Amino acid sequence: MIAILLLLFYLAIFMIGYSFYMARSPEVETISLPKDMREKNNVSLISYVRPVLKVFAPVFDRIEKINILQAYNRRLLMAGAPMRLAEFAIIKALCMVLGLAIGIVFRMEPPIMLIMLMVGFFIPDLWVNRIIKTRHKLISKDLPIVIDLLKLCVGAGMDFMLAVQRVISDFRPSPLVEELKLVYQETQMGKPRREALKNMATRINLPEISSFVRTLVQAGRMGSPIGEALKIQSEDIRLTRFQRGEEAALKAPIKLLFPLVACILPVVLIIVGGPILLTFIRGDALKF
């Protein structure tokens, strides 16, 4: 029993470390690896799980038609569509079965088994939320640079979609570039630029992207220069990021208060007051 617990503990540590390893910032990988090698090494955990999910391929279409699961479609789109809705539903079911199996193997009480079942249900949701948070962070980081590049291209006389194509081809691989690539492909298929941009804002669901798309749509509708609109939008986004950084800096002392009181202060009290307390317990006189 102890060996099984140790095995599960080391397996959990390995999975957590692996998840953080796969969530590394793409900028770190672009320092020394060429583009073709990055694409070959960009293997996610889903690539290992997907061959197992092929066993359930006949029921994929039926699962995707269930109305209750349609709420997860938007979350998966925000995460960059790492998998199909049916695959996500099957992973949730397998995690629930795994939690229930662990409870049965260790002969847990029914309330504990119910908790394990709920944990297995919510683990895929936590994984998707982490991907969305990481993706939003990368998009917010790259958005001002991409807007500046678009502004330079438009100011040089390019059409907006040609500027988007130039940014897609020259900028480093990132989630924002992937979304712009989808926008360009939709416009090439005949969809209006305004509708393609709105679809991008719906997929990402980020306030900065929604403001950026709204500015472009209004500029196109009113006939105002897009270059000037991009310049104003870039300044606004940088100002918002600066204010957000100031807010985080002001919150830092409050966040440090709990670890200071809970972890550091007791140790200091033990080091300073421990010898004095032991002296009183032994009944010796204090020596100054």
> What does the pLDDT read at residue 193?
92
**Hunting for tokens 């590394």 — which residue is that?**
24
- 233-242 pLDDT, tens digit per residue, is 888 888 888 8
Answer for the pair 215, 233: CB distance below 8 angstroms, yes or no. yes
What's the chain's average pLDDT? Answer: 79
DSSP 33: S
**Chain-centroid distance, C-alpha 96:** 23
277 versus 60: the higher-pLDDT residue is 277
pLDDT category, 18, cuts 50, 70, 90? very low
**The Cα angle at residue 26 between residues 50 and 35, in degrees rounded to 5:** 85
C-alpha distance from residue 26 to each of 39, 141, 142 (Å): 11, 12, 12
Domains in the chain, CATH or no CATH each: 140-241 (1.20.81)
DSSP 59: G
* Statement: residue 273 has pLDDT above 70: yes
**The Cα angle at residue 234 between residues 233 and 239, in degrees rounded to 5:** 95
CA–CA distance, 17 with 160 (Å, rounded to integer): 42
